[in-house]
Amino acid sequence: MSLDINFIGVLIASIMASSVPLILAASGELITERSGVLNLGVEGMMIIGAISGFALMIVTDNLFIAIIGSMLAGIIISSIFGFLTQSLLTNHVATGLALTIFGIGMSAMLGKNFVGIPGKEFPVLFDDLSETIPFFGPILFGHSIVFYFAFILPFLTNYFLKRTKLGLMVRAVGDSPDSASNQGINVILVRYLCILYGGAMCGLAGAYLSLIYTPQWIENMTSGRGWIALALVVFSTWNPIKILIGAMIFGGITIIQLHMQALGLRIPVQFLSALPYIMTIIVLVVISRDSRKIKLSTPSSLGKTFYKEK
């Protein structure tokens, strides 16, 4: 293996590619949590997105429909969560868990006839540039549209939350639903929209896995990425830009672990595969140790149901 500059470029590009689903799902969940809703169903929404995207791709042969469809599927399944937690005032944690269990079962049921079918090639942009420019070429060019979207999304999310009126409303609802409600903001409606948006992004994250990253359908193919995305939101202390950093760290561990496996080091494969999960725990511990910092950055009403007496 030669450690030339181009190889490092390709390595960085593959790290970025493996962090895309984490960025998408975590950015979506971040908006949901900023509005005060804790949706633990990320894994379930992602896997539903993955199968919906893949199935639509095989059936319609249309990439656009597959991508939009996966987001719609995420929206539909998150609307169950929305209805339960917002209209029927159920516990967020339990409902989110139900969503994940339901999503995994449902995806396996829907995907029964799609196991083993090879996926289609997803078009990439600026492919010729990626080979002509050394180092920066493979990093910047030759990726799918979803890839570019993922790396812009945290900045858009940041702008949305800090600079737009709607973003301010989301933060107000998350930090103080009672005063937001007194100001005439429809708390329930804002939360519904944030939940559906989170669902759409998780659906897209799943579709990235089944259409672009490893173009095929495998049961349980999200393999805990939804939970890692949830951990990333805590890691980011609810700051969208930091999601980018966190996702790159996890992407890095995943890729380096794969390279170590390929090198045939004498470390057992299973220990390397366990690294991303162990790393998540370590990172969570380091971030959460400072309880004051966590308390200050957590949306105050996170996970609490809101009920307005009529």
Q: Given the rule CB under 8 A, which residues bind other proteins?
A: 40, 80, 84, 88-91, 93-95, 97-99, 101-106, 108-109, 112, 223-224, 227, 230-231, 234, 268-271, 273-274, 277-278, 280-281, 284-285, 288-289, 291, 294, 309
DSSP class of 142: S
Q: What minimum distance in Å lies between the beta carbon of 217 and other proteins?
A: 13
Residue closer to other proteins, measured from CB, 141 or 227: 227
Residue closer to other proteins, measured from CB, 106 or 133: 106
Supply φ then ψ for residue 224, to 5 degrees. 85, 0
Q: At residue 268, what is the residue type?
A: P
For 199-219, give one letter per residue: b (16+ CB within 10 A) or e. bbbbbbbbbbbbbbbeeebbe
Q: Contact, 199 vs 72, CB < 8 A?
A: no
Q: What minimum distance in Å lies between the beta carbon of 188 and other proteins?
A: 14
Residue closer to other proteins, measured from CB, 6 or 305: 305
Residues 6+ apart with CB under 8 A from 77: 41, 44, 45, 48, 99, 102, 103, 106, 199, 203
Residue closer to other proteins, measured from CB, 106 or 140: 106
The DSSP element (H or E) to which 7 belongs, if any, is helix 5-34
Helices (runs of H) and strands (runs of E) counted in the chain: 14, 0
Residue closer to other proteins, measured from CB, 86 or 130: 86
Cα separation of 172 and 180, whole Å? 6
Q: What minimum distance in Å lies between the beta carbon of 168 and other proteins?
A: 27
Residue closer to other proteins, measured from CB, 105 or 123: 105
Q: What minimum distance in Å lies between the beta carbon of 265 and other proteins?
A: 14
Q: What minimum distance in Å lies between the beta carbon of 167 and other proteins?
A: 25
Q: What minimum distance in Å lies between the beta carbon of 307 and other proteins?
A: 8
